[in-house]
Chains A and B, each alone.
Chain A
């Protein structure tokens, strides 16, 4: 599904290398987790994959189902099936959440040569999916993420994911700022989307999210590189011992 080879990334504005050769291969239907200390480059990886400005790819490649995505516009990557649940979802005053969702769904359908969803059909689908995530009618009406609590923003990300049905979902610290109940809702939302043809990359600090969303593979990232890859037990090791031992191992 996603094949990243020796990806090196610097900031455009200043000469600072952030990703220093990342290798990551995620098969269809797999769930991978990336853990790592703050500042190790996890969010940067997710931004570069989704096409945010401000980063310069200085080496390596990233392919989604065999297609080079690094040259594509962000919207083309989205239409190709990539989705990023933001660590910090953006507030958009003046744009209603519902308008936002419908515009996004229809833009992707159009890009893929499919018919736009009728207003009625769209509404039916949104309502059902929103209900599962305990997103009420008011949250759908309000401007995108404006005045939403941390947990509401994250649930709204998962709603977008559920509506867009991407193939490759990247979740950047979707668990941060969530209480136990919200975490369950979000995990449930994610698990409901698990499918043979859909892969996940879950970025997190904490093992606890991985109790709900069970990963097949766990990677540890530090200083712009994947320093260790293992099974779910690696997450437990981090939970118990922190990153110090792992960092010492590679030093």
Chain B
């Protein structure tokens, strides 16, 4: 047995298997996929810029708890709260799981049944997303997920559903798998916030039917030592909308993968992110968007502000399949490096098999604009504050991708708060 395979076996042995009910087949299939793929190693091309060792290892690296009392994100927003503490559902802290036009159930509770609406989706969108690039940690998640939330939306949800992840144990591991299914014309906003655990492996599968709209807004907070690997798999129907935004501040290691398939004509997908990293921080956005229908639009807008040796990674691909005419694909990834120790690694890719498309991509790395900084200072704004203002302005273009103003205001306020803390120790 190769070292990889041995590691995979160890990893699998280390986790309890849930092998009954409607998800058993999907879990078994995922396990088989995983055995075939093996866990990722830093020799893999797809992990060239991010070392997956501590994400794939058997043991969870200890993560000291984050003790600063930040105001939680989205705190003042009317929403349905679902709380997980180190990956374990916290019923007392959660709201009643009922909302008009929305059916919400915990994966662990639903799993015992033999039939479920989530069956055609659970692990299925993930499996689709395994080609052309393998994503073993997502297969691992499907096989091993201990819990998660299954959400079916039949109409317009009146308020956001909010997943709140708390981290209270230093060596905890959370493996959560969520499935969201939006019926024709349905609308839902899903927010996620919090560090979740010392190590967090999360998969979110989203099926957006014709004319439906899904908004996803996520904050990955200042918890310095946590690690996370997350995968979002989305399938978009005709005239549907999918928008996902992630704000990340610190965390030792984060890999956020987003795999989107535009399957129906006139669909729209946006994936955006703003990240601020200070010190021991490695943040990787890996996006794969496949256009497989007419007249679809996709946008990728990623901004990172890095300092004190922080590392940012962006791997973004737009694949336009044969026949996906009138595709409009846009991709931009930019970093602001506040010092020379920080680093931004970007790999933008376009692969196009249709002739009538408009695709653009751009990637830049730059320093703070000294002229602007001086201009602000000359008006009496202290240097730290002037820098924060310019950083916020830079990230603003990504934040602008969040449609809901209450949510984007909440993100902006949090970002300002985080920045002010950074610059004053």
Write the residues of chain A forming the contact surface with B, with a CB cutoff of 8 angstroms: 50-53, 73-75, 77-79, 83-84, 86, 89-95, 99-100, 103-105, 107-108, 111, 143, 160, 164
Instruction: List chain A residues, Cβ under 8 A from B381.
Output: 75, 103-104, 107
Q: Point out the residue from B369, B372, B374, B396 that lies within 8 Å of A52, measured CB to CB.
A: B374
Contact between chains at A95 and B389 (CB < 8 Å): yes
- B353 at interface by CB-CB < 8 Å: no
Contact between chains at B379 and A160 (CB < 8 Å): yes
A92 to B381, CA, bound (A): 14
A3 to B386, CA, bound (A): 29
Contact between chains at B378 and A50 (CB < 8 Å): yes
- B117 at interface by CB-CB < 8 Å: no
Q: Point out the residue from B380, B389, B394 that lies within 8 Å of A75, measured CB to CB.
A: B380
A160 to B375, CA, bound (A): 12
Contact between chains at A104 and B379 (CB < 8 Å): yes
Closest beta carbon of chain B to A88's beta carbon, Å:
9
Interface contact tally, CB-CB below 8 A: 81
A74 to B371, CA, bound (A): 12
A50 to B373, CA, bound (A): 13
A25 to B165, CA, bound (A): 64
Which positions 364-401 of chain B face chain A at CB distance < 8 Å? 369-372, 374-383, 385-386, 389-390, 392-394, 396-397
A250 to B383, CA, bound (A): 43
Which residue of chain B is the closest to A88 with respect to CB atoms?
A: B371
Contact between chains at A74 and B385 (CB < 8 Å): no
A94 to B377, CA, bound (A): 17
Instruction: List chain B residues, Cβ under 8 A from A93.
Output: 393
Q: Point out the residue from A51, A91, A105 that lies within 8 Å of B377, measured CB to CB.
A: A51
Closest beta carbon of chain B to A76's beta carbon, Å:
9
Contact between chains at A79 and B380 (CB < 8 Å): yes
Contact between chains at A78 and B390 (CB < 8 Å): no
A142 to B29, CA, bound (A): 55
Chain B interface residue count: which class?
20 to 34
Q: Given that A75-B377, A78-B377, A95-B390 are known contacts, is A90 also in contact with B385, CB under 8 Å in the complex?
A: no
Which residue of chain A is the closest to B389 with respect to CB atoms?
A: A95
Contact between chains at A74 and B378 (CB < 8 Å): yes
Task: List 20 other contacts, CB 8 Å, given A89-B375, A94-B393, A95-B389.
Answer: A50-B378, A51-B377, A53-B374, A73-B382, A75-B381, A78-B377, A78-B378, A78-B380, A86-B375, A93-B393, A94-B396, A103-B376, A103-B381, A103-B385, A103-B389, A107-B380, A143-B393, A160-B379, A164-B379, A164-B380
Contact between chains at B378 and A51 (CB < 8 Å): yes
A77 to B382, CA, bound (A): 11
A92 to B377, CA, bound (A): 13
Closest beta carbon of chain B to A113's beta carbon, Å:
14
A93 to B372, CA, bound (A): 10
A206 to B68, CA, bound (A): 59
Q: Point out the residue from A94, A95, A99, A108 that lies within 8 Å of B380, measured CB to CB.
A: A108
Instruction: List chain A residues, Cβ under 8 A from B393.
Output: 92-95, 143
Instruction: List chain B residues, Cβ under 8 A from A77.
Output: 378
Interface centre among B377, B379, B385, B397 (most CB of A within 10 A): B379
Instruction: List chain B residues, Cβ under 8 A from A79.
Output: 380
Q: Point out the residue from A83, A104, A164 that lies within 8 Å of B376, measured CB to CB.
A: A104
Instruction: List chain B residues, Cβ under 8 A from A51.
Output: 374, 377-378
Contact between chains at A53 and B370 (CB < 8 Å): yes
A83 to B378, CA, bound (A): 7
Closest beta carbon of chain A to B183's beta carbon, Å:
39
Q: Point out the residue from B371, B394, B396 that lies within 8 Å of A90, measured CB to CB.
A: B371
A93 to B392, CA, bound (A): 11
Closest beta carbon of chain B to A163's beta carbon, Å:
9
Q: Offer 26 A-B interface pairs, CB within 8 angstroms, sorted by A.
A: A52-B378, A73-B377, A74-B374, A75-B377, A75-B380, A75-B383, A75-B386, A78-B378, A79-B380, A86-B375, A89-B375, A90-B369, A90-B371, A92-B369, A94-B392, A94-B393, A94-B394, A94-B396, A95-B390, A100-B389, A103-B385, A103-B389, A104-B376, A107-B382, A111-B382, A143-B393
Closest beta carbon of chain A to B367's beta carbon, Å:
13
Contact between chains at B390 and A92 (CB < 8 Å): yes
Closest beta carbon of chain A to B208's beta carbon, Å:
31
A8 to B393, CA, bound (A): 37
Interface centre among A86, A93, A99, A111 (most CB of B within 10 A): A93
Instruction: List chain B residues, Cβ under 8 A from A105.
Output: 380
Contact between chains at B397 and A94 (CB < 8 Å): yes
Instruction: List chain B residues, Cβ under 8 A from A107.
Output: 379-382, 385
Instruction: List chain B residues, Cβ under 8 A from A86.
Output: 375
Instruction: List chain A residues, Cβ under 8 A from B371.
Output: 90
Contact between chains at A84 and B377 (CB < 8 Å): no
A83 to B379, CA, bound (A): 7
Instruction: List chain A residues, Cβ under 8 A from B377.
Output: 51, 73-75, 78
A63 to B36, CA, bound (A): 75
Closest beta carbon of chain B to A29's beta carbon, Å:
23
A51 to B375, CA, bound (A): 10
Instruction: List chain B residues, Cβ under 8 A from A160.
Output: 379
Closest beta carbon of chain B to A240's beta carbon, Å:
35
Closest beta carbon of chain A to B240's beta carbon, Å:
31
A247 to B371, CA, bound (A): 33
A93 to B377, CA, bound (A): 16
Instruction: List chain A residues, Cβ under 8 A from B374.
Output: 51-53, 74, 90
Contact between chains at B372 and A90 (CB < 8 Å): yes
Closest beta carbon of chain A to B342's beta carbon, Å:
20
A77 to B379, CA, bound (A): 9
A50 to B376, CA, bound (A): 12
A75 to B380, CA, bound (A): 4
Instruction: List chain B residues, Cβ under 8 A from A75.
Output: 377-383, 386
Instruction: List chain A residues, Cβ under 8 A from B379.
Output: 75, 78, 100, 104, 107-108, 160, 164
Closest beta carbon of chain B to A78's beta carbon, Å:
4
A99 to B372, CA, bound (A): 14
Which residue of chain B is the closest to A80 with respect to CB atoms?
A: B380
